[in-house]
Amino acid sequence: MRAAVTGATSGIGEATARRLAKAGVAVTLIGRDAERLGAARDRIAAAVPGAELTPVRADLADLDQVRALGVHLATAVRPDIVVSNAATVEGPAAAGLARMLTVNYLAPYLLLRTLATELDRARLIVIGSDPVLLAHEPVDLDDITFADPARWGEPNGLWPYYAYARLKNMKAMFVYALARRLAGTDVVVNGCHPGMIAGTGLGRDVPELGDLLRHAQEAGIVPRPGPQPGITGELAPDRLPGPDVGADTPVWLATAPEVDGVTGRFYVDRAEVRTAPHTTDAERCEQLWQRSAELVGLPIG
């Protein structure tokens, strides 16, 4: 079997790639920095002697590179498993929001749509986020590019969180719309929340965001998270589990026989959950699909 994992140079992506390699899967590691790709390959190879690992450099903030990546994977790799894991949290400036939109949503939309039409049989896994938190941040279908700051939400210090949450909801909506289009084929697509995980580096570009978010939760501005994989008792920053816990459900979706043929669902800790009605509404999902297609230059399909 062959797999491709985006964001494979650290955190959940690297742990997912390592666990797939340990299961005997040949893994294509995808990242934007050649040096970090090489370091991740070396770490996985040291942990899994004999692992078949191929680093491929692609910056998912550049849609031309995403298109080229899709062609390469479809022709040279033909993966049985694709894990769309790469994500970023940027500052609220226009450039940061544009990068978040592309890396977190438009790149997976373009890449997985491309591969879904080229592969005969595959499991596509989309890494989402906490459905309890995301339930309170519906996608603004009139402004999916974050062009109007007045629509982002208050306080403005939480703009990166609001953007990140809405983009994760977009990914869930994409899973459902893509699954409907793939019905009756051997290509399946599912989403999952890996949990709140330490050591991902996700918030390194906005280091103040974690404290701001916790204060907002305490003040009731933002809801508290739902149950998290690997956490029992009180949720605290110093008690978060490591990337291996975050990799558990994605790897299970990628390899477990009990989910063979299952599609269009969302999982937390290997259990299916329902995401918010605003993410499952077929009409809203289709509106988002169409606007996304226009942004990446694909036919509506």
Annotate 71-108 with DSSP letters as a single string.
Answer: HHIIIII--SEEEE-------SSHHHHHHHHIIIIIHH
218 or 284, higher pLDDT: 284
Long-range contacts of 279-286 (CB under 8 A, 24+ apart): 279/134, 279/138, 279/139, 279/169, 279/172, 279/173, 279/176, 280/173, 280/176, 282/176, 282/180, 284/139, 284/141, 284/173, 285/173, 285/174, 285/176, 285/177, 286/177
pLDDT at 184: 95
* Rounded average pLDDT over 86-114: 93
DSSP 8-state class, residue 68 = H
The answer to which of 127-131, 174-178, 215-219 has the lowest mean pLDDT is 215-219
d(CA 260, CA 123): 8
Query: Mean pLDDT of all residues in the chain?
Result: 94
- What tokens were used for 283? 């009409």
C-beta separation of 160 from 212 below 8 A = no
Task: Compute the distance between CA of residue 225 and CA of residue 287 in angstroms, rounded to an integer.
Answer: 28
Beta bridge partners of 4: 28, 82
Distance CA 134, CA 268 (A): 13
**CA of residue 235 relative to chain centroid, distance:** 23
In three-state secondary structure terms, 277 is helix
Percent of the chain with pLDDT over 90: 78
> What integer pLDDT is reported at residue 238 of this predicted model?
66
- Kindly indicate the confidence band of residue 4, based on its pLDDT and cuts at 50, 70 and 90: very high
Each domain of the chain, given as residue ranges in start order, spans: 2-296
Q: What are phi and psi of 282, to 5 degrees?
A: -60, -35
pLDDT class for 75, splitting at 50, 70, 90? Answer: very high
**2-296 domain in CATH 3.40.50.10110?**
no
Helices (H) and strands (E) in the chain, counts: 11, 8
Q: Note whether 164 and 205 are within 8 A (CB).
A: no
Q: Residue 217: which pLDDT band, with cuts at 50, 70 and 90?
A: confident
pLDDT at 201: 76
Average confidence (pLDDT) over 180-191: 98
- pLDDT tens digits, 127-161: 999 999 999 999 999 999 999 988 888 888 899 99
3-state secondary structure (DSSP) of residue 122: strand
Residue 233 pLDDT > 70: no
- pLDDT at residue 204 in the model: 77
Lowest mean pLDDT among 61-70, 94-103, 187-196: 94-103
**What's the half-sphere exposure (Cβ side, CA atoms, 13 Å) at 196?**
19
pLDDT surpasses 70 at 13? yes
pLDDT of residue 119: 97
